[in-house]
Amino acid sequence: MSVVVCLQKALRTGTSTRLDERVFAMCEFKTQPLPQLMKMIHPDLYRLDNVTDQGALHLNDTIVPQPHLQHLSAERLSPDGAFLMDCGDAFYLWIGKNCSDAFIRDVLGCPSYASVPPNMSHIPELQTPRSERVRAFLDWLQDNRAFSSTVHVLKDDSSAKSAFFQHLVEDRSESASSYQEFLQHIHQQVSK
């Protein structure tokens, strides 16, 4: 977990983080409730384009799908998928460039990948089974926190996708080794 903490804006080195962003991140570290802080440090990543009702929770006449957690690595992202990252204070819905038009139409209300607006900040309430499943899951995540989180829809070819990729803490970055490299380093130190 210590390598993940070092990747946060408040503590990372070797990268161009503006001073005001670093100070804001430090203040968040000191003031956020623990569950919120844990999501900010180590977000949850879910694949949504293939979500089903299998294994869903049944709460107050609502079926809440429970997609499997994914590893926080770019290796897990598929260009034909749609992935939701829960960062505590924000949700990022990353849409792969080969994501099916049916998912994009049913969940985002856009006819194709190319028609998804670059600054989309909500998921519309559409009367499709796929939209209802995604909305039920998002609403369930929102209900389990003290305040509402913003939603950012990011296309794979968007310049804003760096906000999503910076949270993939199992990958190597310019300021830290990958999680696997960190574990190998610990193993070498213990073996000495």
CATH superfamily of 43-168: Severin (3.40.20.10)
Chain-centroid distance, C-alpha 152: 10
Instruction: State the pLDDT confidence band at 166, using cuts at 50, 70 and 90.
Output: confident
Give residue limits of the domains in the chain. 43-168
pTM: 0.79
> Rounded to an integer, what distance in angstroms lies between the CA atom of residue 92 and that of residue 154?
7
Q: What is the pLDDT of residues 53-77, one digit of tens each?
A: 888 999 888 899 999 999 988 888 9
Which tops the pLDDT comparison, 68 or 180? 68
Contact 93, 82 (CB under 8 A): yes
For residue 190, the tally of other CB atoms under 10 A from its CB is 7
Q: What is the pLDDT of residues 31-47, one digit of tens each?
A: 777 877 788 888 999 99
pLDDT of residue 172: 58
> Rounded to an integer, what distance in angstroms lies between the CA atom of residue 152 and that of residue 116?
12
Q: How many CA atoms lie within 13 A of 63 on its CB side?
A: 13
